[in-house]
Amino acid sequence: MKIRSKTPLKALACFSATLALSASMVTTSFASDWTPSRAVEYIAPANPGGGWDTLVRTTANVIRSENLSDVNYAAINVPGGGGAVAWAQIARDSRNDHKLFATSPPIILVPLAGTSRFNHTDFTPVARLITDYSIVLVREDSPYQSITDLFDAIGENPRVSIGGGSAAGSMDHISIAGAAAASGLNAASVNYIAFSGGGEAMTSLLGGHVDAVITGAGEASAQLQGGELRALGVSAPERIPGLDVPTYQEQGLDYTFDIWRGVMAPKDISEDALRYYEDLFARMMETDSWAEATERLGWLDAYQGSEEFGEFLDEQLEQFRAVLGDLGLLRN
Amino acid sequence: MESFTNLMYGFSIALDPINLMYVFIGVFAGTLIGMLPGLGPMSALALMIPITFNLNPATGLILMAGVYYGAIFGGSTSSILLNAPGVAGTVATSFDGYPMAQKGMAGKALAIAAYASFVGGTISIIGLMFIAPLLSKVAVSFGPAEYFALMVLGLTAVVSLSDKSLVKGLIAAIMGMMISIVGMDLQTGTERYTFGSIELLEGINFLVVALGIFALAEVFYMLLSGNKSTPKRNAIGSLKLSMAEVKDMAAPVGRSSVLGFFTGVLPGAGATIGSFLGYSMEKRLAKDGDTFGKGNIKGVAAPESANNAACGGSFVPLLTLGVPGSGTTAVLLGALLVMGVTPGPMMLEQRPDVFWGVIASMYIGNIFLLVLNLPLIPYIAKILDAPRPLLLSLILIFCMVGVYGLSFSSFDLVLLLAFGLIGLVMRLYGFPAAPMILGLILGALMEESMRRALQISGGDWSIFIDKPISLVLLIIAALSLGLPVVKKMIQKARA
Amino acid sequence: MTRLNINQILALVLVIFSVGYLWMAFQIPVFPIPRPIDSDAFPKILGICLLVLSVLLFFEKQPKTENASQQEDVEPVTESSVTGMQNPKVQVLGTAIAILAYAFLIEPLGFLLSSILLGVGLAYWFGYRQHGVNFATVGSIVLILYLLMSKVMGIYLPTGVLPF
């Protein structure tokens, strides 16, 4: 029953993709002659449904429906250890030109916290694709009107609590602690309350159990429309289109925090393969299907090629290392 | 009255032939996925997101909601027949469902599960329809302190779940809690009891433990007990319920449905906790409470109505607040966002078609499930007619495939084996499995919410009694522990 | 009181386990930012509870009824008659080893092949002798599961030595 239900959809998708292709007559110009000779293993280091998985499946779908490659990009879930299980597997497979994986700040944070032996330098950056930003929310009736109000309050009363959807020492905590440090506070003075998901943190804020919540801007947009919550600031360098929230920088706080996502490959893949994938993702991001997908998912394009992405990762490492050091959580 | 008009509007959407077809596809696929041990609705829904890309949002949510409650509905089948819970929410169903099947009443157990699921599902839809916005206030009023009190109340059930030896029951519960805290501690990021293994960082998957302790241990146990003492199990028995049985179950089903629904409304609680609370409540209230665990029909009816009601309840925070209460509803939220619908306080005004369409479709889906499942029971239960060696081998395959499909990791297969052996030892020497599972479900949640509450209060313990809901729950917990003791003392004094 | 009963042996095992557990609880590092309750508190409480309970178990009186009821539904391995491969204890051990082998072979051999091998092999070993039915049942169930997961739901399963 289910098989039959899906096939027409697939056929329809293929059909429309063919139409789109013949209409635009995409001319493919490869940066090199190398092309994958078999299916590419495309790993999401987490269970189906999360951010990495969505990135892998969406990009694989766009590549297929736009006919950007002759081979299949097979989405493979390797969950466990916040990514560490997959990283350990991929690290054993250096020089494999037919393997890619989705990545984001945890590839830097998890090793720094000491729970993964491998970090971004053990892999080849291919491309940064998209980004999201942190946003700080309070209840509509909260006394705080700006991000500086909040940090002033924390300075006076260390019990002011800020909830987040991930463990202490991971993304949300680093983001808010870094902002607090930039405002002149001690990073460790943020009373960060870890919840097991952004949703739980937001429910707790709605009920007034915590004073503020830090989460991804994409995740918060529904709540902001509802009018029960209010945003104090967003960690983007400039305002996010369609989201009427001032940046930290506008409020005199020189701090940005990217929740970026990108693609990496095993260490020491061939130069030709790297160029091929770099180019593949660059072309993918110019397609209509990609534009449609990012629109739906609320992603902001933030492409960087391999070299630029690598430098960006090194900067991130320094930024995170500093914050974790302030928090006393640096274990590696 | 307004709800009625809205519901009529919802039915006008849900009865659209296309939507009707998708309800059917959804509940059918959901039942199948639910029946397979391990593979749950969450992965299934995540993998369906690309399909819903091309659908109208109301249709997409109708389909996905169907898979979700269909899976909870179908999960009872393998719990009853194979002692291998199909989804986490149906673990409690196996406590009495499997013994019933062993006694040759598989047909009746499956029928009761189907009816109870139907009633639980329907009651939750009625609740969803009339009091959803009101209930969203209840959901947000539960902060860390309240959750802690709720978990404490839940844990008092250990006493009623350990029938022979209280000490053994408590030991099992403590072991369950010990398993639940393995992994990275959320509040500090510290590793606990991982032995340096990255596979254990995210903790031990609940279903790996449940399948090991129940299904695998059962296979080992049957091997050990040899051919002679195997109960006659080839009789499926009649599906018919007597009037007396229906009367007997009416009150438990009603109570458990309401309890399950409220548990489902609370983010983070959900079907698993709901079904346990329903089961232990009925065990305590029943006059024949001591036959629970040995094939009491109320022991099937209570958790089945509670878990289906909880499934409906979990749509309250999702649709009215826009916050997911569980992994599964988080995936649903993601799918809705992809389809361009933002669930939340504004959804009723912005997309009434999605809101009311889904609610109406749930009525239809529940009827489909009942009509679909009842006639199939004799055929599905035929698996018990398989020759014993083949049946044992099939149960093993289902468990292994289920666990592998859960995490794609050989490590979890080894864990499954370890828990199977632990389960066998427990079974042989009279340690009850239910308290262990309860400790496993509630342990980590209790610790986390307690530490969260204390961190918010700055280490001040009075937060647990200053909050009225928390105080009431703790008093109920104390009473439910104290009353039986007082009763016993009175009995002793009289004797 | 010369011989320990089974509960007392189990109690001793649990005592050793809980001491080990407590020792590990004391190794849990302190979180650098002060917390009202740190990561080590809960494990310590659990360890102490288990220790106390296992001592209680050691001194718990064995109710006669429990023994009786165990006898009646367990009959663990009546020593005589069955020997060799059909001995229940050997069967449990063998099944455990087969599961371990499956865990390690699933990736190199592939999902389909290893699952069918495990299913058919165990059914045969448990004493099922209708090879055709055995192979057809296990084979079709594994194949359906495989198709459902890999083709319909798009979950990647290891293919191993087979091309699909």
What would the pLDDT profile of B230-273 be if each residue is shown by its tens digit?
555 556 777 888 888 899 999 999 999 999 999 998 877 788 89
User: Helix, strand, coil: what percent of chain C each, to 5?
Assistant: 70, 0, 30
Question: Are residues A186 and A127 located together in one domain of the fold?
Answer: no
Number of domains in chain C: 2
Higher confidence at residue B363 or residue A20?
Answer: B363
Question: Are residues A159 and A234 located together in one domain of the fold?
Answer: yes
pLDDT digits (tens, 9 = 90+) for B50-89: 777 678 889 999 999 999 999 999 899 999 999 988 888 8
Structure confidence at residue A26 as a pLDDT band (50, 70, 90): very low
pLDDT at residue number A107: 94
pLDDT digits (tens, 9 = 90+) for B91-106: 999 999 999 998 889 9
Return the number of CB contacts < 8 Å for A and C. Answer: 21
Using the Cβ of A6 and the Cβ atoms of chain B, whether some distance falls under 8 Å is answered with yes
Question: Are residues A57 and A119 located together in one domain of the fold?
Answer: yes
Residues 158-177 of B with CB under 8 A from A: none
pLDDT at residue number A20: 40
Instruction: Answer whether residue B196 shows pLDDT above 60.
Output: yes
Task: Identify the CA nearest to B384 among candidates B218, B239, B235, B220.
Answer: B235
Q: What is the mean pLDDT of chain A?
A: 86
Most A-contacting residue of C30, C33, C150, C153 (CB-CB within 10 A), to test interface: C33
Nearest to C107 among B188, B410, B450 (CB): B410
Asked if residue C51 is part of any domain, the answer here is yes
Task: Specify the DSSP class assigned to residue B193.
Answer: S
pLDDT at residue number B161: 83
Among C20, C40, C73, the domain-final residue is C73
pLDDT at residue number C65: 45
Nearest to B177 among C7, C36, C46 (CB): C46
Q: What percent of chain B has pLDDT over 90?
A: 47
Backbone angles phi, psi at A258, to 5 degrees: -100, 135
Number of domains in chain B: 1
Whether A3 and C31 lie within 8 Å, measured CB to CB: no
Q: Exposed, middle or buried, B5 (CB in 10 Å: 0-12/13-18/19+)?
A: exposed
Using the Cβ of C78 and the Cβ atoms of chain B, whether some distance falls under 8 Å is answered with yes
Whether B346 and A225 lie within 8 Å, measured CB to CB: yes
Instruction: Answer whether residue A200 shows pLDDT above 60.
Output: yes
pLDDT at residue number C67: 46
Q: How far is B339 from chain A (nearest CA, A)?
A: 7
Q: How far is A79 from chain B (nearest CA, A)?
A: 6
Q: How far is C61 from chain B (nearest CA, A)?
A: 10
Domain that holds residue C35: 6-73
Whether A6 and C31 lie within 8 Å, measured CB to CB: no
Asked if residue C164 is part of any domain, the answer here is no
pLDDT at residue number C72: 41
Tokens representing residue C92 in the block: 């449990």
pLDDT digits (tens, 9 = 90+) for A165-188: 888 888 999 999 999 999 999 988
Whether B189 and A222 lie within 8 Å, measured CB to CB: no
pLDDT at residue number B228: 46
pLDDT at residue number B234: 56
pLDDT at residue number C2: 57
Most B-contacting residue of C12, C82, C122, C142 (CB-CB within 10 A), to test interface: C122
pLDDT at residue number C83: 57
Instruction: Answer whether residue C36 shows pLDDT above 90.
Output: no
Could you give the CA distance from residue C151 to residue B12 in angstroms, rounded to a whole number? 35
pLDDT at residue number B332: 87
Highest mean pLDDT, choosing among A110-124, B153-167, C148-162: A110-124
Tokens 């903790």 identify what position? B203
Question: Are residues A196 and A232 located together in one domain of the fold?
Answer: yes
pLDDT at residue number B233: 53
Question: Are residues C101 and C64 located together in one domain of the fold?
Answer: no
Question: Are residues C69 and C115 located together in one domain of the fold?
Answer: no
Higher confidence at residue B68 or residue A331?
Answer: B68
Q: How far is A289 from chain B (nearest CA, A)?
A: 12
**Cβ pair B368, B20 in contact under 8 A:** no
Asked if residue C60 is part of any domain, the answer here is yes
Contacts of B386 in chain C (CB under 8 A): 137
Question: Are residues A321 and A227 located together in one domain of the fold?
Answer: no
Domain that holds residue A207: 132-257
Whether C75 and B226 lie within 8 Å, measured CB to CB: yes
Most B-contacting residue of C109, C120, C128, C129 (CB-CB within 10 A), to test interface: C128
Contacts of A327 in chain C (CB under 8 A): 32-33
Asked if residue A171 is part of any domain, the answer here is yes
Q: How far is A148 from chain B (nearest CA, A)?
A: 21
Instruction: Answer whether residue B334 shows pLDDT above 70.
Output: yes
pLDDT at residue number B190: 87
Among the residue ranges A277-281, B407-411, B433-437, the one predicted with the least confidence is B407-411
pLDDT at residue number C66: 46
Instruction: Answer whether residue C53 shows pLDDT above 80.
Output: yes
Instruction: Answer whether residue A266 shows pLDDT above 90.
Output: yes
Among A211, A237, A257, the domain-final residue is A257
Number of domains in chain A: 2
Instruction: Answer whether residue A139 shows pLDDT above 90.
Output: yes
User: Across residues C81-98, what is the average pLDDT?
Assistant: 79
Quick one: closest CA in B to C32, which residue?
B188
Asked if residue A12 is part of any domain, the answer here is no
Whether B408 and A170 lie within 8 Å, measured CB to CB: no
pLDDT digits (tens, 9 = 90+) for B388-402: 889 899 999 989 988
Nearest to C152 among A6, A74, A328 (CB): A6
Q: How far is C2 from chain B (nearest CA, A)?
A: 21
pLDDT digits (tens, 9 = 90+) for A212-222: 999 988 878 77
Question: Are residues A284 and A253 located together in one domain of the fold?
Answer: no
Distance of CA A285 to CAs A240, A277, B53, Å?
19, 12, 19
Nearest to A206 among B45, B140, B334 (CB): B140
Using the Cβ of A76 and the Cβ atoms of chain C, whether some distance falls under 8 Å is answered with yes
Q: What is the ipTM of this complex?
A: 0.87
Neighbouring chains of B at 3+ CB pairs under 8 Å are: A, C
Nearest to A53 among B46, B139, B184 (CB): B46
Q: What is the mean pLDDT of chain B?
A: 88
Contacts of C156 in chain A (CB under 8 A): 74-77
Tokens representing residue B7 in the block: 């519901």
Beta-bridged to residue A266, according to DSSP, are A123
Contacts of B416 in chain C (CB under 8 A): 99
Q: How far is A222 from chain B (nearest CA, A)?
A: 5
Task: Specify the DSSP class assigned to residue C85.
Answer: G
Instruction: Answer whether residue C120 shows pLDDT above 90.
Output: yes
pLDDT at residue number A59: 93
pLDDT at residue number B158: 87
- What CATH number does the domain containing A267 carry? 3.40.190.150
**Cβ pair B121, B311 in contact under 8 A:** yes
Backbone angles phi, psi at A161, to 5 degrees: -105, 140
Nearest to B317 among A167, A195, A203 (CB): A203
Distance of CA B392 to CAs A13, A201, B84, B385, C129, Å?
43, 44, 12, 12, 14
Nearest to C127 among B187, B389, B396 (CB): B389
pLDDT digits (tens, 9 = 90+) for B280-326: 899 888 888 888 988 999 999 999 999 999 999 999 888 888 888 77
Asked if residue C127 is part of any domain, the answer here is yes
Quick one: closest CA in A to B137, which residue?
A207
Interface of C with A (CB under 8 A): 31-33, 147, 151-152, 154-156
Question: Are residues A307 and A171 located together in one domain of the fold?
Answer: no
pLDDT at residue number C69: 42
pLDDT at residue number B227: 55
Among A257, A288, A309, the domain-final residue is A257
pLDDT at residue number C4: 78
Structure confidence at residue A5 as a pLDDT band (50, 70, 90): very low
Asked if residue A16 is part of any domain, the answer here is no
**Cβ pair A63, B183 in contact under 8 A:** no
Domain that holds residue B255: 2-494
Quick one: closest CA in C to A324, which residue?
C32
pLDDT digits (tens, 9 = 90+) for A36-93: 988 899 999 988 777 888 899 889 989 998 999 989 898 888 888 888 889 999 998 8
Could you give the CA distance from residue A236 to residue A254 in angstroms, rounded to a whole number? 11
Neighbouring chains of A at 3+ CB pairs under 8 Å are: B, C
Tokens 């460790």 identify what position? A188
Among the residue ranges B115-124, B164-173, B231-240, B266-275, the one predicted with the least confidence is B231-240
User: Across residues C97-124, what is the average pLDDT?
Assistant: 92
Whether C95 and B396 lie within 8 Å, measured CB to CB: yes
**Cβ pair C39, B187 in contact under 8 A:** yes
Among C30, C45, C73, the domain-final residue is C73
**Cβ pair B430, B168 in contact under 8 A:** yes
pLDDT at residue number A32: 62
Question: Are residues A252 and A263 located together in one domain of the fold?
Answer: no
Instruction: Answer whether residue B123 shows pLDDT above 90.
Output: yes
Instruction: Answer whether residue A126 shows pLDDT above 90.
Output: yes
Query: Residue B482 CB: number of other CB atoms within 10 A?
Result: 11
Structure confidence at residue A15 as a pLDDT band (50, 70, 90): very low
